Structure 1
Amino acid sequence: MIGSDPFVRNEREVWIAERSDRLAAVFAERAPGHDREGSFPFDNFRDLKEAGYLKLTLPKQYGGDEASLYEMVLAQERLARGDGSTALAVGWHIGAMLQLRYTKAWPEKLYAGFCEAVIRDGAMVNNFASERATGSPSRGGRPETKAVRTEGGWLLTGRKTFSTLSPILNHFTVSAYVEEEEKTGQFFVRKGPGVSIEETWNTMGMRSTGSHDLLLERVFVPEEERIDGKGRGEDTGMSDYGGALLHIPACYIGIAYAARDYAVRFAANYKPNSLPGSIAELPNIQRQIGEMEAELITARTLLYAAADRWDREPERRPEMRPELGLAKYTATNHALRILDLAMRIVGGSSLSRDLPLERMYRDVRAGLHNPPMDDAVITSLARRAIAEVQQQADSGRRGAGEI
């Protein structure tokens, strides 16, 4: 029996959605405490491991669920309805594993061994690239983290910021500049001597993602675990053209969905003594609810359509980057609008730290600072439009010349 959500299309997706819903219900109870303390939700990640969620995007040959991009988006959106911090944090792991499944950017032995560790131990991974001096790696800055050749491998020294999941990871990948080659390399790092975490993450929103600073001091990486250029197939690049990053908009739309539900329930049940019924009967409240629905439906439709197209048309992925960026741009900005409307409906009590809306409002603000950034998305759309018009003009001139 397919559920009422129009984006749940078959029984497998029902199973994926229901698992996320069960986890989200538990995480929602814990979220206020973790947010208040700024603590990492180790309890949530134990539950994710036990539920098999960490193997969602692993290939079936290694015991994973081999979720499609669409299915990953569905799982993440439903999970974020309970706790945005947990969903965003685990999203970096399952997104990375989905990306690796397609790009084959790791050597086979390393990839197979890590998949086994995910199944056996609940291992996770994230790519640490951001630095204070360079900002977001999407801007193209050269990392200040250095990789120096040594006997049998490399020594890495540097500091990474926004290192989400750092309190729980035993493995991660790091970008570092290789001066002798004048290029940036990618390295698989295991937590051990020379690796430390400085707890710098004390933010307004997404307080429980554990995005502290990672410090590397002459950390040894064996030659075989330098992973750039050592992939398992022809596509050894680290890019899937932005597909895996859809875990980000899925998270923020999930938070907005939960806020919409809260505000609508509040409106239906709140009956001030100045009215004969609930405030949901007031035209102004109905207008605001309708505006929330319009924002939510638009963002979800674009997000799921982009994921579905990415799955169905692999040959078109290189040209889909602007479309995927638009899905993120729309989701995060619409989520902000939905939270604003939800808080207007609930009124002054929405500011209370005893209620979830103020936390959700702070969390969705973080979406503006996750890649791709708004300005980059808008610029890419503009360039595509300009290129299309120029191509049409060129084609028209060629046609006229033939006549």
Structure 2
Amino acid sequence: MALDPAAVLPEALMEEIRSRAPGYDERNEFFQEDLDALVAAGYLKAFVAPGDGGLGAGMADVVRLQRRLAQAAPATALAVNMHLVWTGVARLLADRGDASLAFVLEEAAAGEVFAFGVSEAGNDAVLFDSITEAVPQSDGGYSFTGTKVFTSLAPAWTRMGTFGKDTTGQEPALVWGFIRRDRPGWRHLDDWNTLGMRASQSRTTVLEGAVAPADRIVRRLPVGPHPDLLVFGIFAVFETLLAAVYTGIAERALDLAVAAAHRRRSHRSGGRPYSQDPDIRWQIAELAMAVDAIVPQLDAVAADLDAGADRGSAWFRHLSGLKHRATQTAKAVVDGAMRVAGGGGYFRGSELERLYRDVLAGLYHPSDPESAHSTVATNVLGPLED
């Protein structure tokens, strides 16, 4: 049975979270009170089985939850996404008979918070190569030395999933493992001062020999594209949950545009609300149709991930295309809402002004537009010829 997002995130909690978002943004401050409230609601245990104290959610459930949370506070939703990515990957693997990340769900059930320490400045190979050094230890663990960017939940994570490249063997290998906050070998830079998504506090993390013990090393893979289930799981959950957050932003922007059209009055037409103006009605209809187009695509992808559907080689095309379409749609809808709402939305402190800045972060998450189009073109047309 599907979870009811309004039962997990009741309206009173949504309004509480929404009320804090402007202050977090203005002060460039981590969303600690939101996180505490979400922990209390069991939100970070969404993918954990009910028997272990979780919500027992599937991907389709969490997509709906993240859409709803993003309508209250996009930066909070985006940061929580990173924890949900790892727990979602663990769930996806477990559903397909792979227990290598079972400890992630066990530790999430115990209250641990997971960060996603993967992105590296200048590494456009993303999951298929790394400029972080992974050095084997005598006990089977690995130490990691390198710099990871956009590590959300910086003030709060207790576990970080990361990867690096081991060049000590005959062939280089990409090593995936998990480090702990209470162990040495890492530090954050206080460098998160951005245009939008400020409450996420996605600071740079410098790894300086941080060790993942042998029982937290989950993969050694060849450099380059590889059909390993972990790689698919990370890509699938990351792209789908990103699309959910930005779809939530679009939905909220549409709501604000509708409210503005009812609230604003036209002097030229004798004080009639703009909701009766044919041009404004056309513009809002365009926004609504854009939102209506992305939601079914998002729901279908999430449902197929839950069902273990086989889309074959089209999976990467559909996932990267979904993320690209969701972020571009959200940007267009927020832009349209700004036009409908009038000059008041241009002032600092308006919710639309904040959404206008927050939605721009969608440009920078993988897959970027160039990568998404390359992936789709390769699937449809075949690879480039030498």
TM-score strictly above 0.5: yes
Matched, 1:240 2:233: yes
Q: Residues 155 and 221 of structure 1 are in contact (CA less than 8 Å); yes or no, is this contact kept in structure 2?
A: yes
After superposition, the Cα gap between the structure-2 partners of 1:94 and 1:317, relative to the gap in structure 1 and judged at 3 Å, is: farther
Q: Residues 241 and 321 of structure 1 are in contact (CA less than 8 Å); yes or no, is this contact kept in structure 2?
A: no
Question: Which position in structure 1 is the counterpart of 2:291?
Answer: 296
Question: Which position in structure 1 is the counterpart of 2:320?
Answer: 325
Q: Residues 91 and 105 of structure 2 are in contact (CA less than 8 Å); yes or no, is this contact kept in structure 1?
A: no
Q: Residues 159 and 213 of structure 1 are in contact (CA less than 8 Å); yes or no, is this contact kept in structure 2?
A: yes
Question: Which position in structure 2 is the counterpart of 1:28?
Answer: 18
Q: Residues 174 and 220 of structure 2 are in contact (CA less than 8 Å); yes or no, is this contact kept in structure 1?
A: no
1:317-359 Cα distance to aligned partner (Å, 9 max, x none): 6532211222212111111111111010111111111210011
The amino acid across from 1:132 in the alignment is: A
Farther off after superposition, 258-267 or 94-103 = 94-103
Q: Distance in 2 between matches of 1:52 and 1:280?
A: 40
1:345-376 Cα distance to aligned partner (Å, 9 max, x none): 11111111121001101111111211222222
Question: Which position in structure 2 is the counterpart of 1:137?
Answer: 126
- SS in structure 1 of the partner of residue 156 of structure 2: coil
Q: Residues 92 and 247 of structure 1 are in contact (CA less than 8 Å); yes or no, is this contact kept in structure 2?
A: no
Q: Distance in 1 between matches of 2:351 and 2:136?
A: 50
Matched, 1:188 2:178: yes
Matched, 1:260 2:254: yes
- SS in structure 2 of the partner of residue 157 of structure 1: strand
Question: Which position in structure 2 is the counterpart of 1:215?
Answer: 206
Q: Distance in 2 between matches of 1:267 and 1:55?
A: 39
Q: Distance in 1 between matches of 2:250 and 2:97?
A: 35
The amino acid across from 2:9 in the alignment is: S
Question: Which position in structure 1 is the counterpart of 2:343?
Answer: 348
Match 2:102 to one of 95, 102, 111: 111
Q: Distance in 2 between matches of 1:203 and 1:172?
A: 23
Q: Distance in 1 between matches of 2:87 and 2:97?
A: 11
Q: How many residues align?
A: 370
Matched, 1:50 2:40: yes
Task: Please give the TM-score of this superposition, normalised by the length of structure 1.
Answer: 0.85
Residues 4-43 of structure 1: matches in 2 within 5 Å?
12-13=2-3, 15-22=4-11, 23-43=13-33
Matched, 1:158 2:146: yes
Q: Deviation of residue 74 (structure 1)? A: 0.6
Question: Which position in structure 1 is the counterpart of 2:157?
Answer: 169
Deviant stretches of 4+, over 4 Å:
104-110
Q: Deviation of residue 84 (structure 1)? A: 0.5
Q: Deviation of residue 108 (structure 1)? A: 5.5
User: Aligned residues: percent identity?
Assistant: 28
Q: Residues 101 and 218 of structure 2 are in contact (CA less than 8 Å); yes or no, is this contact kept in structure 1?
A: no
Q: Deviation of residue 305 (structure 1)? A: 2.1
After superposition, the Cα gap between the structure-2 partners of 1:265 and 1:110, relative to the gap in structure 1 and judged at 3 Å, is: closer
Question: Which position in structure 2 is the counterpart of 1:367?
Answer: 362
Q: Distance in 2 between matches of 1:338 and 1:80?
A: 15
Farther off after superposition, 60-69 or 25-34 = 60-69
Q: Distance in 1 between matches of 2:250 and 2:310?
A: 33
Q: Distance in 2 between matches of 1:225 and 1:319?
A: 31
Q: Distance in 2 between matches of 1:289 and 1:107?
A: 46
Matched, 1:79 2:69: yes
Q: Distance in 1 between matches of 2:208 and 2:220?
A: 24
Unaligned runs of 5+ in 2: 222-227
Q: Residues 24 and 80 of structure 1 are in contact (CA less than 8 Å); yes or no, is this contact kept in structure 2?
A: no
1:1-23 Cα distance to aligned partner (Å, 9 max, x none): xxxxxxxxx7x43x234423533
Q: Distance in 1 between matches of 2:214 and 2:110?
A: 26
Q: Distance in 2 between matches of 1:16 and 1:318?
A: 32
Matched, 1:316 2:303: no
Unaligned runs of 5+ in 1: 1-9, 389-403
- SS in structure 2 of the partner of residue 127 of structure 1: strand
Q: Residues 145 and 175 of structure 1 are in contact (CA less than 8 Å); yes or no, is this contact kept in structure 2?
A: yes
The amino acid across from 2:130 in the alignment is: P
Question: Which position in structure 1 is the counterpart of 2:224?
Answer: none
Q: Distance in 2 between matches of 1:110 and 1:345?
A: 47
The amino acid across from 2:232 in the alignment is: S
Q: Residues 54 and 94 of structure 1 are in contact (CA less than 8 Å); yes or no, is this contact kept in structure 2?
A: yes
Q: Residues 85 and 234 of structure 2 are in contact (CA less than 8 Å); yes or no, is this contact kept in structure 1?
A: no
Q: Deviation of residue 28 (structure 1)? A: 0.9
Q: Residues 107 and 227 of structure 1 are in contact (CA less than 8 Å); yes or no, is this contact kept in structure 2?
A: no
Match 2:373 to one of 371, 378, 394: 378
Question: Which position in structure 2 is the counterpart of 1:148?
Answer: 135
The amino acid across from 1:238 in the alignment is: V
- SS in structure 1 of the partner of residue 155 of structure 2: coil
